Amino acid sequence: MRLQLIRNIWEPTELVRFLVTANIVLYVTSLFIAPGAVNYDLNPMVFLSPGTGVLFKLGASGTLPVFAEDRWWTLITANYLHGSLLHLLFNVSALHAVGKINIEIYAPSRFFLIYFLGGLFSMAISSLAGIPLTLGASGAVCALIGSMSYDQWRASKGNLKMRIASVGTWVALIAITGLALPNVNNWAHAVGFVSGFLLGFLFWPQTSQSESKTFRVAATSCMLLTIAALIYGLLFS
């Protein structure tokens, strides 16, 4: 049964659902760990914001956790944490919309590697750039958009081209929020997009969308590493 569950995760629809669910579960967990620290201000930007201490414990990244506390594993976990209900809803909506298209192009293993590595790079560069505390899936989502942009530049995908064009709405929204709102990590957005474009170059399916053993092993290893880091943040940090 466990082997079947692992296999099912790598089905395109299930993998996107798994990532969306993981983000939601971690957010709800952050609220229940310290309900007294949750912000109930009706301002939509901060409504249902978990306490900063809880987010730090679970694995928020940035200059302080990574360099001052040697919490290098947060470069992974921060991509699954969110600072408010609006933050979560925006990112999981984008992940669901963009992920369904990206996975059709790159197939499940390469899709997950782009998500994982794009998020990792965005958190790493943000930390080097001096962002004290950062979290959210937007860097990883921007990596998916970047890899799709490479595909669009490289090859025409017929009717898929129109579907990819619709992702421009998310690009515009990310750009607008990054410029208009305070405390938005634009480093993560920019690095995510650029790294995704480069990963698209490396992973682009030149002849087939079929999965290779190498990609599946690499993606499975990264997923297990992600799960281990999240569990460590929840139980032992």
Tokens 């901060």 found at: 46
Tally the domains of the chain. 1
Of 78, 150, 159, 73, nearest in space to 110 by CA: 150
State how far the Cα of 221 lies from the Cα of 227, in Å rounded to an integer: 10
Q: What CATH number is associated with residue 71?
A: 1.20.1540.10
pLDDT of residue 2: 46
pLDDT tens for residues 67-117?
A: 999 999 999 999 999 999 989 998 999 999 999 989 988 999 999 999 999
Range of the domain at 75: 2-235
pLDDT tens for residues 111-130?
A: 999 999 999 999 999 999 99
Of 41, 125, 126, 127, nearest in space to 86 by CA: 41
